[in-house]
């Protein structure tokens, strides 16, 4: 099963991360995050999130 992972950046906090949500929010401030890419991940394992 392929997974789509959103890589994102929060301009307010200057932090980033990865999430399986299509429209992620910042883990630091809870605000909207800018999605920078949505790569496809092969396999059944969930991706490591930061």
* Cα within 13 Å of Cα(30), Cβ side: 0
Residue 46 lies inside a defined structural domain of this protein: no
Q: Which pLDDT does position 44 carry in this prediction?
A: 62
pLDDT digits (tens, 9 = 90+) for 1-50: 677 889 999 999 999 999 888 889 999 999 999 999 888 877 665 556 65
Q: What is the pTM of this model?
A: 0.69
Q: Which pLDDT does position 22 carry in this prediction?
A: 86
> What residue numbers bound the domain in which 21 lies?
3-41
Tally of structural domains, the chain:
1
Q: Which pLDDT does position 21 carry in this prediction?
A: 86
Name the helix (H) or strand (E) containing 17. strand 15-19
Q: Which pLDDT does position 33 carry in this prediction?
A: 94
Residue 48 lies inside a defined structural domain of this protein: no
């Amino acid at each position: 099963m392929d997974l789509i992972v959103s890589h994102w950046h929060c301009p307010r906090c200057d932090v980033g991360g990865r999430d399986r949500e299509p429209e992620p929010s910042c883990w630091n401030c809870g605000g909207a995050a800018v999605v920078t890419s949505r790569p496809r991940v092969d396999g059944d394992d969930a991706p490591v999130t930061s």
